[in-house]
Amino acid sequence: MKILFAPLEGITNFVYRNTHNEMFGCIDEYYSPFITPSEDDKVNRKGLNDIIPENNPNIVIKPQVLTNSSEAFLKFTEKIMAVGYDEVNLNFGCPSQTVVKKGKGSGFLKDPDKVDSFLYDVFKEHPMKISVKTRTGFLEGSEMEQLMEIYNKYPLELLIIHPRTRSDFYNGMPDMAVFEKAFYSSKNPVCYNGNIDTKEDYERIEKSFPTLGYVMLGRGLIKNPALGREIRGGERITTEEIVAFSKKLAENYQLTLKSETFTLNKLKEVWMYMIQNYPEEKKIFKTIRKANKLCDFMGAIECLPEI
């Protein structure tokens, strides 16, 4: 199966992606955090800078867009086609309240007819290959049946299914019964996304769906950046590697951000996940969170025991 790296806003930017690829690799495609275009043809410069090819050497990037406007989407695709992209991913999954209240991300799923109309307008123009990252509904997993009828109307490059509803956020376990029904009814290639935190989690998905061609790793891969390697049969991650990865991230962020404070904040975001490898180290985690200097932060993680 191909392994895809899910986007995580604020974390998986080009600095993180390049550092991860250099040290660990074993990822077939990296998805960028979503870019939100507007109908007045404005696109966040920071978002575009994150995906330009010169900032992403040696890795395969799939730009992700968050919108419920086909007009804004089509204008956006013109911009990324101009820099060499031929594929884009649509975000119908983000559960954030600020996104949902605008009818975007998983908030779009409240109105399947609008989703259908949007996709019809987009595919009528069809400027690029299009994939969709979706949840299984807004309130109930039973909504996925109608959504699949819509998705099956269009030649999606890939349908990435996170088997939770918006109301689930990230709570509870993914609804595998809903995913199974969607997987076998899909006319498009399907990718599974959700709660793959270990090699054993991956193997359970692989065993349950032997014809599945793709899995997407997200929070589990931030926690353990060597998860792709472990899935491919490589060595388990060590604390020494985690510390070395953090130091390399710090070096690369300092070169880009030109600020120790901004670099420290970025590392703290990453370590909200990586500290989960050390559930007993509450004192060190407290030091990490309260560190005001990069040297104090690095000193704390260098005291961590072996995983």
Rounded Cα–Cα distance for residues 93 and 99 (Å): 10
pLDDT of residue 44: 64
What angle do helix axes 14-23 and 239-257 make, rounded to 10 degrees? 140
Rounded Cα–Cα distance for residues 40 and 162 (Å): 31
Residue type, 108: F
Q: What is the mean pLDDT of residues 252-277?
A: 97
pLDDT of residue 41: 60
Q: What is the mean pLDDT of residues 61-83?
A: 93
Residue 182 clears pLDDT 70, i.e. is over it: yes
Residue 1 clears pLDDT 80, i.e. is over it: yes
Per-residue pLDDT band for 40 (boundaries 50, 70, 90) equals low
Rounded Cα–Cα distance for residues 186 and 184 (Å): 6
Write down the architecture of domain 2-231 according to CATH: Alpha-Beta Barrel (3.20)
> What strand order describes the sheet that includes 61-62?
61-62, 29-31, 2-5, 214-217, 190-193, 158-162, 129-135, 87-92, 64-65
Residue 42 clears pLDDT 80, i.e. is over it: no
Strand partners, 190: 159
| 116 to 9, 111, 122: CA distances (angstroms) | 26, 9, 10
Rounded to 5°, angle at Cα 77 from 182 and 154? 30
Q: What is the dihedral of CA 291, 293, 295, 299, to 10 degrees?
A: -10
Rounded Cα–Cα distance for residues 19 and 133 (Å): 25
Query: pTM to 2 decimals?
Result: 0.95
Per-residue pLDDT band for 38 (boundaries 50, 70, 90) equals confident
* Domain spans, the chain: 2-231, 239-301
Sign of CA dihedral 132, 230, 50, 8: positive
Phi, psi of 273 (to 5 degrees): -95, -45
Query: Which of 255, 254, 16, 283 has the alpha carbon at shortest distance from 291?
Result: 283
pLDDT in tens, 3-18: 999 999 999 999 999 9
pLDDT of residue 127: 80
Residue 295 clears pLDDT 80, i.e. is over it: yes
Encode 134-165: b = buried (16+ Cβ within 10 Å), e = exposed.
bbbbbeebebbeebbebbeebebbbbbbbbbb
Among 9-13, 39-43, 131-135, name the one with the lowest average pLDDT.
39-43
Query: Which of 305, 306, 286 has the alpha carbon at shortest distance from 296?
Result: 286
pLDDT of residue 45: 72
Residue 276 clears pLDDT 70, i.e. is over it: yes
